Amino acid sequence: MKILAVSDEPIKWIYSATLRERCKDVQLVVGCGDLPIWYMEFIASSLDAPCVYVRGNHDSFEIGESGKIKTDPGGWINLDMNVQTMAGLTMAGLQGCLRYKPDAPYQYSQFEQTARGCLLSARLFTRQLTVKSFDLMVTHSPPFGIHNGADHAHTGFKVFNRMMDTFKPRLWLHGHQHTNYAPRDATETLVGATKVMNVHPFRIIEI
């Protein structure tokens, strides 16, 4: 299984005619937030693979060619608070980052994201997922203390750590922390049975 994961920053070679050839064997595309709708729709139209995503704190609407407002990228499935099985993988997701502006969309306090994480956990328990059947967790922010930035806005969510310990997904993909912020920091960390990966700005992953 080959996955193309993207986050936070459009990349020239991805937004080009070379994408179809270079990623023709990709079987799943994952978006970890803060990407323009036009960029995501180009990826979805170029590759013959299902596309799933969560929103980041900078995601917003765009005006389409018809003049209508777009809030969701065509060809993509929103994983936020959702459990899906596709391309042979069972996956779930949670959007957003730690709140740093009052009333800003897709920003949450630790308490607010904990409540959302508990609701998603109930859905995962309903599916009776185990370490062998839960493959992929998709978030914008990282778990607390893993790939975090030095500032408040780039601190991870504590509920993610509890969910990781409970459900033990094989992969935990996130964005938000740009790798150029701290080039020497780790972008891949094994936590128990889970490999946590910062995918900014893209990664091609084989599992």
Mean pLDDT in residue range 73-90: 94
Confidence of residue 69 (pLDDT cuts 50, 70, 90): confident
Is pTM, for the whole model, over 0.85? yes
Write out the residue range of the structural domain in which residue 20 sits: 2-206
- In this predicted structure, the answer to whether residue 115 has a pLDDT above a threshold of 70 is yes
Which residues does 137 contact at the CB level (< 8 Å), separation at least 6? 91, 92, 93, 94, 160, 163, 164, 167, 169, 171, 172, 173, 194
Total number of domains in the chain: 1
Residue 194 pLDDT class (50, 70, 90 cuts): very high
Q: What CATH number corresponds to the domain at position 112?
A: 3.60.21.10
Contact 30, 136 (CB under 8 A): yes
Nearest to 196 by CA among 136, 154, 152, 112: 136
Distances (CA, A) of 193 to 28, 156, 170, 189, 190: 22, 19, 6, 11, 7
